[in-house]
Every structure is written in C-alpha cells, then in structure tokens.
Amino acid sequence: MKLAYWMYAGPAHIGTLRVASSFKNVHAVMHAPLGDDYFNVMRSMLERERDFTPVTASMVDRHVLARGSQERVVNNINRKDKEQRPDLIVLTPTCTSSILQEDLQNFVDRASLSSDSDVILADVNHYRVNELEAADRTLEQIVRYYLNKVRGRRTMNQCLTDSPSANIIGIFTLGFHNQHDCRELKRLLRDLGIGINQVIPEGGFVGDIQNLPKAWFNIVPYREVGLMTAMYLEKEFGMPYVSVTPMGVVDTAEFIRQVQELVNAWAPILLGRKVNYESYIDNQTKFVSQAAWFSRSIDCQNLTGKKAVVFGDATHAASITRILAQEMGIHVSCAGTYCKHDAEWFNEQLQGFCDEILITEDHTEVGDMIARTEPSAIFGTQMERHIGKRLAIPCGVISAPVHIQNFPLGYRPFLGYEGTNQIADLVYNSFTLGMEDHLLDLFGGHDTKEVITESLSTDKDLTWNLESKAELNKIPGFVRGKIKRNTEKYARQKGITNITVDVMYAAKEALNA
Amino acid sequence: MSIKTIETPIFECETGNYHTFCPISCVAWLYQKIEDSFFLVIGTKTCGYFLQNALGVMIFAEPRYAMAELEEGDISAKLNDYGELRRLCLQIRKDRNPSVIVWIGTCTTEIIKMDLEGIAPKLETEIGIPIVVARANGLDYAFTQGEDTVLAALTHRCPEHRISSDKQCQIDQKIFPDLLTKQIKKNYWEDKSDNHPPLVLFGSLPSTVASQLNLELKRQSIRVSGWLPAQRYTELPSLGKGIYVCGVNPFLSRTATTLMRRRGCKLIGAPFPIGPDGTRAWIEKICSAFSIQPKGLEERENQVWNNLRDYLDLLRGKSVFFMGDNLLEISLSRFLIRCGMIVYEIGIPYMDERYQASELALLQSTCNKMHIPMPRIVEKPDNYNQIQRMRELEPDLAITGMAHANPLEARGINTKWSVEFTFAQIHGFTNVKDLLELITRPLRRNDSLRDLGWTNLSV
Ligand code: SF4
C-alpha cells in the first residue's frame, strides 16, 4: 500500500478511453462499477465537448459479483451496437475487472457474433500500466487489428501516395494543447508541400486505418502516445517515422531536416527531384518565429543565468528544458519527469542541459526539490503551479495533468514555429512576473504583508525578533525564502535560537566567506 | 374508516445505466465538516484519480484525506493488510494527529474481501486513535449515499445517552476519554430542564446552515441537543433510548435505520427542510412529535414565498426533467412543483419509500394542490433512454450531471448541474433564495442569449 495524495498519470482505463473516444464512431464499454464513468465528465467539461462522450459502463454490482457479468457485458455491447451503430466497440477493463478475473475476451467473442460492429478487448492491465502507457498500447492494438483484418482479406492497397504525405500519430482527446499542436503541424507540413494522409486517433475513422501505409512516413510528435504504433508500422510495412518533437527553434529545424531526409528517400523516383527545406527553415527561424530574435534581444539577456526547474511528462519536460538551456541561456537546475517508464530516454536527452535529473511520481519529492533549489521560475504541471504559489515562485504550465484553463479557446500550440512564439511568451511572462514582484518589494510596495515567507518546512524552535522580521521583509520576495533559510541554518549551526539583525548579517557574511 | 384515494405514486425501474459520482466523493465535504477527522480511502488509482479530479483545487490545500493505494502485492495477498494499514495510519498520526481516522472501503476492498471491520478495532487499540469503517463503494451505492454509510458507521461511536452503570462508564472512559467528560455530562444535566425529550438531527450541513435550522426550531422552543455529525468527532452527540432523531437530507436511510434499530432512537419521519414548504412541514412534524403547537410558521412561509416573486414568475409553467444522480430529486421536484413548474420525470438512483414516506406524501399533496399529475419516478434510470425521452418532451430545464450538461446545452436544452445542489446551501427558509438563484441561472442566462440565434450548436 502506498499513501498517496495526488498522482500525475491516471489509471490505465483512462488512456484507453481517451484513445477510443478520439476516433469517430467508436464506442467504449467500460467494465466498471457505478461511478467510474468520470471520464465522461472530464471530457465534457475540459474539452467542452458538444457531443455525448461515446463511453458507457457495463455495471459491475453485487449481482455481478454473485453471478458473473457475462450476460450483462454481452447484452450491453449488443445494445450499443443497435443503438448507435458504431464501427468499433472497445471493451475497457478497469481495476475492478482486473481482480474479478472474468474471461472478458470470451465475452467479446460472444458479443461480436451477434453485433455488426467490430468488438475488441483493450489489452491493458490496471496494475501494470498507467494512463499514458495504456493509451499507447490501445492505439497500437486498434491499428494492428484493422491492418490484420485487411491483410487477411488481401484487399490491402500499399501503394504510396503520388506526392509526399505523412500520418500524424498520437493526437488525442484531453491531451495538453493537442488540438492546437495538430493544426500547427498540419500548417507546417502544408508549407513543406507534404500532404496529411491521416491523423490518428483524433477525428479518424477506423475504416481508414487500412490506408495508413499509403503515407511516405509517420510523425510521432509526443513520446508518450504513438511510438508503439509507429514502430509496429515500421516493422510490418517498412514505414519510417520521425519522433523528434518539433518544439523550440532548434528541434523544429531538426524535425524538418529529418522529414526532408525521409521525403528524399522517394522524391527522386516519385517526384523526379529532391526537396531542400533549408531556406524554409532559415526564413521561418528569422522572421516567422520571433523566438530566435527574442533570444538575441535584451529582454532575454536579462534572463541569462536565471535559475529554473522543469517538471512534466517526458516530451514536454525534455523539450522545454532544452529550449530554456540552449535557446535562452537560462540555467536549469533540475529537470524531471513522472514518466518513469521512459527514464532512460529522458536521461539521455538531457545530458548537459541541466544540473540534476529527477524521475519520480511523488509530488512531495518534486515540492522538496523546488523548495531546495529555489528557482526564479518553475515550468511544470498544475501541481507545480500550486507548489509555486505556496513558495511565491511563478510557474508556467507546460504539461499535463492540467485544469480547464489549460484548454484555451484561443490558438496556443506548443509545436512548430507559432509554438516557439507561445513558449517564448510563457517563459518571459513567468520570469517577469517574478521580477515585477521583486521591484515592488524594492520600492516597498508590499510592506503591509504580514506573512514573512511561505515555506514547506516548519521550524518552530527559532524565533525572529521584530527588528529582524522587518529587515527580512525588506528583502525582495524571490530571494527572501532563501535568506530566511540560510539564516536559520546558520543560527542552528551556532546554536542561536533568537534571530536578530546581527545574526542575519553574520549569516550572510559566513556564507559569502 | 374511509380512506381518501389519491393517485399513488408509480415507481418505474430502469437499467441503472446512469452517470453519477462515486460515493467516495463524500470525503470532500465530510473532511471539511468534521474538523478533527482524517479520511483514508483504501482503493486503487481509479478512486484516487476520481477524487483528484472531482475535488479540483481542494487537492492542493493539504486536505485531510489520502488514498491508501493498493498495489499488486496487496491484491494477491502477498502483503499483510494489517501491517500495511498500520504503517499508513501511524504515518497519518505522526503527520496530522487526527481525533478519528475514517477508512473508506472501496470496490476493490469489497471484491478481495479485505476485512476492514475486523482489522480496525485491533489497530485502534494499538495506535490509540478511533478508526471508523464505512464501505462507500460504487458496487453498492451512488454519490450522496456515501455520506449515509459514513454517518451510519459514526452512529456506533456516539456515546450512550444515559450512563447505564459505573462499570460501563469506566470502560467508555478508557476508550473515549474526551467524549465522556464533556458531552455526556452536558446532555445528562441539561436535558432535565427541557420541555421535550432530547432531539438529535442527522445529516452533514455547513455549520451556518445547521445553526440556521437550530434557530428555526428554537423559535418553536425546541432545543437541538446535537448533530450527527458534529463539527468535531470529539463532540458527537449522545444517543440512546428516549432520544428523538430527525433527518435533514433524503439520502440518509441507512443512518436512520441504524439510529432506530441499533441505538433505540425514535425517528421523526418528516419531509426534508428544502424549500419553504419543506422547511415548514419539517418543523411541523417535529413539533407534532413533541405535541408542541407551532407558532407563526405559516406567516413565515408566506413571507418567504412573497420575497421570491421575481423568481417564481420566471419558473411558472416551465417544465423540468430530473435525470437523477444524488437522491435530492424528490424534495427538489416537490419544491419546484410548488413554485409552479411542471416536472416531467424524476430520475433517482435509489428510492427508500419508508424513509422518504413523508416527503412522497407531501409531493403528492403538492401535485393535487397545484393541479398537476404526479410525475413519473424512475429509479435506477437509464441515461440513454432518458435522453430519447427528453428529445420528445423538450423540457425547459434538465437537471443533470456534468457528463451530459454540455452535450444537452449544445442541443438547445437548458441544463443545471445537479452536483451543485449537494454543495450549495439549500436548506431552511434562509437559503431558498440561493436555491432558486441556482435553478433559474440557466434560464436567465439563456434568456439574455435568446435573440442571438445560436441555440442549437450541436455538430
Ligand atoms: S466506483 Fe469503486 S473503484 Fe470506482 S472510484 Fe468508486 S470505489 Fe473506486
């Protein structure tokens, strides 16, 4: 058993449901107790979905515990088949079905005999995989299912499209800024003269999956979801893929160069010429994206050497860390991710870009790390935003898990050239927020503040006298916490319990020495 | 003896395929209500994910609840439940030092038959903190029924009303040193001065609402000797033979049964104090149980209605459809009918006809009075069928869970999230305005949008 207050990645079934409900005309039937369809609320509220979420539950209740749920599951699948005529029904196991150990595959086999829809059982185990891993698997499972189906029928058309085209794999519902990223990617590809063969799962039809191999190559923008599918397609159909995330100026260029290489594998034959995107990259970098200019401007100069910490999913945390370090000259003290299963990749990606790497699913560890590092800004998830609030450190949200405010109505991609502009704003605003606070403090704007500092550690054996408290208040907000802690550390070392102004300065000198 | 025949309510029962919150959500309001408690939900990531998302920002405020997340070793019984729970509870004692730890059993603990009730007493004596077990899982209950299971479990922890013997007293003193000293003595002495037997109200309400209801009863010279739950665990009311109890919420039937059967209390069956009509009927029932003649109630009710004119004008003749998810539906329907609305359907997760008898009777008489037919009451509704019915009926307002609200709005149907009724203050005379404010909000909002021509936005 684990004492847990908060989790970064959700349970496996959420991942399956996110993938299933992103496809068009696919229905998921959860094998779950009453109350586990909370996914529908999230989708309806966060994505502000206009349509009913295509997820229903086949209830597990006392009756099921006594007699098993075969009949009920089969009936529920058949009922959905009649009512909504989906192309595919995905039976989704939950933590409850994991321990009931019923033969769900058998129910699926029975149900598919009597229904027009295809029926599959999502192959995910609650106790082995989390939300993101489950999403990755489910997507691969669905793609594999449909490709095997046409291969069996020998109706597969494997001809490449005439002009270069790509599939975008891994855009799906409740993903962090996924819709905007998708639009930006499409725009980028259009600029390069590359057609979109398919986007899956978001908005795709399972009937079209058989045409996936027609694309020249695949694009997997996020590490978390889509890689399994891309690897499967590579193995079975020899389709290459690009897995560089086009986030930030440098990586977007790298992404385009890789795309160029893949296009040129066929271009001489099919187009009769090679493509060269270098001038496009140059033009976009210098004029469309403002990020390159920003990093040259004195605004960004002021950020040089400022300390930041980054935490999030593997894709976003890695990309943002590199942007901060190599494109803006910011000092990343610590970068971390909760994607434990991808730790190796993460480590490798960030060699040389930060002082320290933290891989954990425990938000208190992240909180302690932040309190210890005392950065000028945090880039993290909603959890880090709240940690930042308590420590009076500004935070830019760069990764799921997120709240409704991270589903903006306006256009806010993180990928591509427009994405670089958005990120520059986010970074700059987070830091200046802290700066403004500092200036206000310098000019005594906050002198009515009672609280000296919010701190995660409570320390009751030390007292600050009135004078030293007042002195502490004069110190700018963003370094106040550090000075307080250093002074207390010093006091403790010297066995002083009553902190006076003298002690404060003695501490400062001791540290400088 | 002549029996006046009125239309008897017809209950239908559908498939139970409806959306509602898991009953473990009750920790959200109960940990805030019982200030010295700590809630430990013993379940999986699924339960944790639900709580984390449903509770939103509360998560970040260091709430007094946590998950004991079961891992594969716990399921396969490789790990020893007692040892594991002991480790976590010691941790909680160290970090928070609560006066009570409430264990919430979930679907998983049910299925693997973890013996929480067996482990709790042993651990309780070992760590010296009371441990209350409530099995509020999605296999058996819906949403607000979670509170019912917790309160039913707390019922057993309320001190005995009369101190039966010195020996019992000594035993109790050992286990609950705090309780005995204050609460029991207080009840023991003060009760003698009252003109009626002691009355304990049950149901968790924000403390301001609880004191509003106390005050209403005080006007009838009825003194409330305690609430279940109280603001603190150490202030639980004493119970026993001779104590009268009355519920303030319609979903507390297990608690009511436990109070009667296990603690020998007398239950006053009354409609619930929701809406001015309900509040008046509730007070009248309590008065009549104590043979007290209610004073000035009718005027008080009329006065409240008079203040609501604007809202009532907006509601009169409009129709409403309850999809059903929190068991407040009967009381709310009754109130809305009295406001002049037409109720097409009352969906409700579970209907206890005995516990809700007075409320049902009031619903019936309200329908008669307003000359409208009794609405159909659908237990364990089927959301899919309900949406089909709604397409035909085109109600002016649908009261529904958040899973359906946006899709219905996109189809031009005004909706109100039902969950808000469980979190807002809706009890007593004082809060009627807030209640109507909630209900009319979608109508008022959509009134102002009406002429813009974008009512139906479904894709
Ligand atoms: S329905 Fe069961 S498994 Fe789901 S959240 Fe509730 S208690 Fe947990």
pLDDT digit string, tens, across residues B393-415? 999 999 998 899 999 999 889 99
**pLDDT reported for residue B226:** 94
**Per-residue tens of pLDDT for chain A, all 513 residues:** 999 888 999 999 999 999 999 999 999 999 999 989 999 999 988 888 889 999 999 999 998 888 888 889 999 999 999 999 999 999 999 999 989 989 999 999 999 999 999 999 999 999 999 999 999 999 999 999 999 988 877 666 678 899 999 999 999 999 999 999 999 999 999 999 999 999 999 999 999 999 999 999 999 999 999 999 999 999 999 999 999 999 999 999 999 999 999 999 999 988 889 999 999 999 999 988 888 888 888 777 778 888 999 999 999 999 999 999 999 999 999 999 999 999 999 999 999 999 999 999 999 899 999 999 999 999 999 999 989 988 889 999 999 887 777 888 889 999 999 999 999 999 988 887 666 666 665 665 544 444 444 444 455 678 888 888 888 887 766 677 778 888 888 888 888 888 888 888 888 777 764
User: With contact defined as beta carbons under 8 Å apart, do B422 and B144 qualify?
Assistant: yes
Is A299 considered catalytic here? yes
Distance CA A10, CA A297 (A): 41
- Percent above pLDDT 90 for chain B: 75
Distance CA A247, CA A250 (A): 8
Residues 6+ apart with CB under 8 A from A123: A137, A138, A141
CATH fold of B194-290 reads: Rossmann fold (3.40.50)
Spatial strand order in the sheet of A88-93: A55-59, A26-32, A88-93, A118-121
Instruction: Select from B22, B387, B407 the Cβ nearest to the Cβ of A49.
Output: B407
Distance CA A214, CA B45 (A): 40
| Model pLDDT for residues B357-380, shown as the tens digit of each residue | 999 999 999 999 999 999 999 999
Q: Is the peptide bond before B229 cis (omega within 30 degrees of 0)?
A: yes
Ligand 1 centre and the CA of A94: distance in Å?
10
Measure Cα distances from B314 to B87, B201, B320, B367 in Å: 57, 34, 13, 19
Instruction: Say whether B405 sits in a helix, a strand or coil.
Output: helix
Could you give the domains of chain A?
12-129 (3.40.50.1980), 165-270 (3.40.50.1980), 292-443 (3.40.50.1980), 463-512 (1.10.8.550)
Residue B191, pLDDT > 70, answer no
User: With contact defined as beta carbons under 8 Å apart, do B213 and B428 qualify?
Assistant: yes
**pLDDT reported for residue B76:** 85
Residues B217-225 have a mean pLDDT of 93
pTM of structure: 0.87
Hey, are the CB atoms on B107 and A383 less than 8 Å from each other? no
Ligand 1 centre and the CA of B133: distance in Å?
16
DSSP E strand boundaries for A139-257: 165-171, 195-201, 217-219, 241-242
The CB-side HSE value for B3 (13 A sphere, CA atoms) comes to 4
Which amino acid is present at A272? G
For residue A292, what is the enclosing H or E element? Answer: helix A291-296
Q: Contacts of residue B401 in chain A, CB cutoff 8 Å?
A: 41
Which entry of A109, A116, A299, A447 is annotated as an active-site residue? A299
| Better-predicted residue by pLDDT, B190 or A346 | A346
Assign domain B23-141 to its CATH architecture.
3-Layer(aba) Sandwich (3.40)
**pLDDT reported for residue A95:** 93
Distance CA B358, CA B334 (A): 12
Q: What is the largest CA-CA distance in chain B?
A: 76
Binding-site annotation, residues of B: 22, 47, 107
User: With contact defined as beta carbons under 8 Å apart, do A277 and A192 qualify?
Assistant: yes
Ligand 1 centre and the CA of B55: distance in Å?
15
Q: Report the 10 Å Cβ neighbour count for B11.
A: 14
3.30.499.10, 3.40.50.300, 3.30.460.10, 3.40.50.1980: CATH of B304-452: 3.40.50.1980
Instruction: Select from B54, B56, B69 the Cβ nearest to the Cβ of A2.
Output: B69
Distance CA A249, CA A327 (A): 8
Between helices A249-270 and A178-191, what is the axis angle to 10°? 50
**pLDDT reported for residue A455:** 47
What are the helix (H) ranges across A158-248?
178-191, 227-237
Instruction: Select from B50, B91, B404 the Cβ nearest to the Cβ of A38.
Output: B50
**pLDDT reported for residue A444:** 53
Measure Cα distances from B107 to A62, A128, A448, B81, B350 in Å: 10, 19, 51, 16, 19
Distance CA A316, CA A321 (A): 8
DSSP string for B164-223? --HHHHHHHHHH-HHHIIIIIHHHHHHGGG-SS--EEEES---HHHHHHHHHHHHHTT--
Comparing B194-290 with B304-452, is the CATH topology the same?
Answer: yes
**pLDDT reported for residue A435:** 66
Q: Look at chain B and count its residues.
A: 459
What is the domain partition of chain B in residue ranges?
23-141, 194-290, 304-452
Q: Which one of A13, A14, A17, A36 would you pick to mutate in the ligand 1 pocket, going by the greatest count of ligand atoms within 8 A of its CB?
A: A36
Instruction: Say whether A262 sits in a helix, a strand or coil.
Output: helix
User: With contact defined as beta carbons under 8 Å apart, do A33 and B137 qualify?
Assistant: yes
**pLDDT reported for residue B163:** 45
φ, ψ at A358 (rounded to 5°): -125, 120
Beta partners for B224? B199
**pLDDT reported for residue B178:** 54
Distance CA B418, CA B401 (A): 5
Spatial strand order in the sheet of B199-202: B224-228, B199-202, B244-247, B266-267
**pLDDT reported for residue B311:** 93
**pLDDT reported for residue B314:** 92
Beta partners for B134? B104
Give me the interface pTM, i.e. the ipTM.
0.88
Distance CA B124, CA B289 (A): 39
| Better-predicted residue by pLDDT, B74 or A89 | A89
Hey, are the CB atoms on A35 and B68 less than 8 Å from each other? no
Q: Contacts of residue B137 in chain A, CB cutoff 8 Å?
A: 33
Q: Report the 10 Å Cβ neighbour count for B110.
A: 19
Distance CA A60, CA B21 (A): 15
> For chains A and B, what is the number of CB pairs under 8 angstroms?
160
Residues B163-187 have a mean pLDDT of 50
What are the helix (H) ranges across A374-476?
382-391, 416-442, 466-474
Closest residue CA from atom 1 of ligand 1:
B138
Measure Cα distances from A474 to A63, A436, A443, A469, A480 in Å: 67, 15, 9, 9, 9
Q: What is the DSSP letter of B8?
A: P
Burial of A453 per CB tally in 10 Å (0-12, 13-18, 19+):
middle
Q: What is the token pair recorded at B413? A: 């149907």
Q: Residues enclosing ligand 1, CB less than 6 A?
A: A 33, 35-36, 95-96; B 22, 24, 43, 46-47, 50, 106-107, 137-138
User: With contact defined as beta carbons under 8 Å apart, do B200 and B226 qualify?
Assistant: yes
| Model pLDDT for residues B84-122, shown as the tens digit of each residue | 999 999 999 998 899 999 999 999 999 999 999 999 999
Per-residue 3-state assignment (H helix, E strand, C coil) for B76-110: CCCCCHHHHHHHHHHHHHHHHCCCEEEEEECHHHH
Residues 6+ apart with CB under 8 A from A407: A46, A47, A48
Q: What is the token pair recorded at B301? A: 């009710």
